[in-house]
Amino acid sequence: MLLVMNPQHHLLSLRIQGWIVLGLLVIESALGSKSEPLLILHIILSVLLLIGSVAFYVQAKRHQSVAWKIPSLVGIFGIFIAIIAGSLFAYTDASTYLSVMEVGAVLSLCSYGWGLWAARNEGNKMSVIVQAT
């Protein structure tokens, strides 16, 4: 017996995960303050976002989601840049690194927004391909 997974399920899962990552990015950006407990949460959430974004990219690649491959890779890059710049800012207190961290955060926010926009009709195309085969 051959079990075939519904491609719609994978695409819905990717779309939900995209919304979750986007929401966590917004929360993570709001936590970036000088208060020590919030700063610790900011750092922890940044690392978790990096790990989650890599896992998200692997899933998008495995399920061959055209809409999510590039945006999730750009999101990883943005989060990575933000983490490196944030670490350098914490070490040097140079405002240049703070600006680079903000650029990385905006890049990742925009990339996941782009992925959600690009994935809005991906499921409809997949159902046509499955029905044709």
Integer Cα distance of 71 and 62 in angstroms:
15
Residue 3 covered by a domain? no
Domain containing 39 equals 20-120
Burial 36-47 (b: 16+ CB within 10 A, else e): eeeeebbbebbe
Residue 9 covered by a domain? no
Neighbour-count burial of 1, counting CB atoms closer than 10 A to its CB (0-12 exposed, 13-18 middle, 19+ buried): exposed
Residue 4 covered by a domain? no
| Full pLDDT tens readout for the chain, 133 residues | 444 444 555 666 777 888 788 888 887 777 766 677 888 888 888 999 999 999 999 988 888 888 889 999 999 999 999 999 999 998 998 889 989 999 999 999 999 999 988 888 776 554 334 444 4
Residue 81 covered by a domain? yes
Residue 55 covered by a domain? yes
Residue 7 covered by a domain? no
Integer Cα distance of 73 and 70 in angstroms:
5
Residue 128 covered by a domain? no
pTM: 0.75
How many domains does the chain fold into? 1
CB-CB contact of 111 with 76 (8 Å) = no
